[in-house]
């Protein structure tokens, strides 16, 4: 990107941000934002090769949605691709409105090729950085974008207003059709092939073949502070992220503010977002921001490449300045399997004020999460290429979740259709064992079922998510649809119900919608079940999701219309 383009980019981004702030003087009402999202294949060239890539409106990544708390969105999805598709607005609570949530066969049947569906929802008491993505098989590898929620008119950030801001979308690129990668893995029962590159805003960066010309560049003037809205849209990988020679001040995660703290590196799991402030206080130059894998699964293949973008200092005239044509400086990133920086980062997160955390618990749940293996009657079958002639699986409380194929869970519940699901998901593991120890092979094979757990409206819920050592300990980023939750505690080893609750943070815990289980450890969350509907909870590593690492809550209606699910829209896709 040449100097004039950088200057124009800087001017446009600054004017847009100033316009958003200044216009608050004139407008004080919520807006309705109308969009058309056309899902279609378009040629996209990366790593020297052009692929027919599923995009939204021909863009990769897709459009950035910019709204304010209180605004409404009306987004018509038009499916011109050859695959079924749904869209999920990750982290939006969708109060009383599961019909707009989007997970395939959970709250809707998919939009078939040639079909349309209009998602209608309102942002209610949320602000910060979220994102949207396809929620159908592996389409979200390329169908995703940022969703930025500004405070209501007249309200401000609880930190100094940055000069400008940039969304930073971290992704994975496959040098073949991601749907074919998934198809092969589902046939063989083995782990899917890993990605060929990571990306920042759709671009792999300077360290990959045929990629330098497209490397994302973010201009900054000396002395100014900018806000990076970092989103991990990768399919299957937690990532470390850093900016060379620049300290980051963390001010938010998952559309919830945090008590500011300084760090040189963040760990961000698939589905998570992190807002950081950076001050351009270094010598004028070019500095890489970079991301690479945080890998906790043992003896598992992973993409060990590094994606980069450039933070580039510019002068007021738009010139790059003297000595800035040299190669940018790379940041130091932790070793791939180093859990220390990840633990230090997550344990530093706090809310900036006291949070209303339930102290009396109605539903005390304990869920094991992890992988498993399905034994094959013919281990030499081409469909049994997992370890020792098995097929990979995954489960919660030994139940490997099976998605319906003829109806969605929400539609079946709302219409009273029997036989689609049961409500006997176990609140605790069916068999207690040493979860992080040497687990008997007799416990490695889960059962396959479509089991939901029923919650009464208003019930106060605690869930301890316990990783297991079955196949391998691993950090599983667990996402709960329809809710945010307080992360009240975490630790390594087996959760101890006698001693560990004494260490819970019930004052200022961070609030999230996606949280990782420490590898070989546990994490505890709490929330109030005040959003009726069927809400999926699943690992946001998509290879684990298709293996069954999921379950769903059925939150019953409360009293009256304001505590009940709204009727389904007339254009809800037919099953």
Cα(59)–Cα(77) distance, integer angstroms: 14
Instruction: Please give the pLDDT value at position 324.
Output: 54
The per-residue pLDDT for 29 is: 85
Question: Residue 317: its pLDDT value, please?
Answer: 59
Instruction: Tokens 């990133």: give the residue.
Output: 333
**Residue 325 has what pLDDT?**
60
- CA dihedral (567, 568, 570, 575) in degrees, to 10, reads -150
* Token pair of 551 as six digits: 């379950």
pLDDT digits (tens, 9 = 90+) for 244-262: 999 999 999 999 999 999 9
Whole-angstrom distance between the N-terminal and C-terminal Cα of the chain? 48
pLDDT value of position 16: 41
Angle CA 56–60–66, to nearest 5: 70
- Residue 315 is predicted with a pLDDT of 79
Question: What was the pLDDT predicted at 2?
Answer: 45
* Separation CA 222–CA 379 (nearest Å): 62
Where the chain has pLDDT below 70, the residues are 1-28, 316-325
C-alpha triplet 165, 249, 309: angle, nearest 5°? 50
Residue 127 half-sphere exposure toward CB, CA atoms < 13 A: 16
Beta bridge partners of 128: 149
Beta bridge partners, 232, equal 170
Say what the pTM is: 0.94
DSSP assignment of 394-456: EEETTEEE---SSS-HHHHHHHT-TTS-BS---SS-SS---TTS---GGGS-PEEE-BEEEE-
Q: Which two tokens stand for residue 33?
A: 């934002």
Residue 365 parent element (H or E): strand 363-375
pLDDT at residue 320, rounded to an integer: 59
């Amino acid at each position: 990107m040449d100097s004039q383009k950088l200057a124009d980019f800087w001017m446009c981004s600054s004017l847009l941000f100033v316009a958003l702030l200044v216009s608050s003087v004139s407008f004080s009402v919520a807006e309705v934002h109308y969009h058309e999202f056309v899902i279609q294949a378009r040629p996209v060239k990366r790593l020297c090769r052009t692929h027919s890539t599923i995009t939204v409106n021909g863009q990769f990544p897709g459009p950035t949605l910019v709204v304010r708390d209180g605004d409404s969105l009306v987004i018509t999805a038009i499916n011109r691709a050859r695959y079924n598709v749904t869209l999920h607005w990750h982290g939006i609570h969708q109060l009383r409105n599961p019909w707009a949530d989007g997970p395939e066969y959970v709250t809707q049947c998919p939009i078939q090729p040639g079909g349309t569906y209009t998602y209608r929802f309102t942002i209610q008491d949320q602000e910060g950085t979220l994102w949207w993505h396809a929620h159908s098989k592996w389409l979200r590898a390329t169908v995703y974008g940022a969703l930025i929620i500004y405070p209501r008119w007249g309200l401000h950030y609880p930190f100094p207003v940055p000069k400008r801001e940039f969304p930073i979308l971290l992704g994975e690129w496959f040098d073949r059709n991601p749907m074919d990668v998934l198809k092969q893995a589902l046939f063989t029962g083995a782990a899917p092939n890993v990605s060929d590159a990571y990306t920042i805003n759709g671009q792999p960066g300077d360290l990959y073949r045929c990629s330098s010309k497209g490397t994302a560049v973010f201009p900054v003037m000396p002395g100014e502070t900018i806000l990076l809205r970092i989103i991990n849209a990768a399919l299957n990988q937690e990532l470390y992220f850093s900016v060379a020679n620049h300290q980051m001040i963390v001010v938010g995660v998952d559309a919830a503010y945090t008590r500011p703290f300084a760090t040189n590196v963040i760990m961000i799991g698939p589905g998570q977002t992190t807002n950081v402030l950076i001050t351009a206080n270094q010598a004028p130059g070019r500095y890489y921001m970079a991301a690479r894998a945080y890998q906790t699964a043992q003896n598992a293949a992973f993409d060990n490449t590094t994606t980069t973008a450039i933070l580039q200092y510019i002068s007021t005239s738009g010139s790059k300045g003297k000595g800035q044509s040299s190669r940018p400086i790379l940041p130091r990133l932790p070793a791939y399997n180093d859990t220390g920086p990840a633990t230090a980062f997550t344990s530093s997160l706090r809310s900036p004020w006291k949070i209303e955390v339930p102290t009396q618990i109605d539903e005390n749940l304990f869920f094991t999460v992890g992988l498993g293996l399905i034994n094959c009657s013919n281990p030499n079958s081409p469909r049994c290429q997992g370890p020792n002639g098995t097929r990979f699986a995954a489960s919660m409380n030994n139940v490997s979740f099976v998605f319906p194929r003829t109806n969605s869970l929400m539609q079946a519940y709302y219409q009273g259709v029997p036989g689609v699901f049961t409500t006997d998901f176990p609140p605790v593991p069916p068999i207690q064992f040493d979860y992080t120890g040497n687990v008997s092979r007799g416990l490695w094979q889960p059962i396959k079922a479509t089991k939901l757990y029923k919650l009464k409206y208003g019930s106060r819920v605690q869930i301890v998510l316990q990783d297991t050592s079955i196949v391998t300990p691993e950090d599983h980023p667990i996402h709960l649809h329809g809710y945010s939750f307080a992360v009240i505690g975490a630790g390594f080893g087996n959760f101890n119900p006698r001693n560990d609750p004494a260490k819970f943070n019930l004052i200022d815990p961070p609030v999230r919608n996606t949280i990782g289980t420490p590898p070989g450890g546990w994490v505890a969350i709490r929330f109030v079940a005040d959003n009726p509907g069927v809400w999926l909870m699943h690992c946001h590593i998509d290879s684990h999701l298709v293996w069954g690492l999921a379950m769903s809550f059925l939150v019953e209606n409360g009293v009256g219309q304001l505590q009940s699910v709204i009727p389904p829209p007339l254009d809800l896709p037919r099953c």
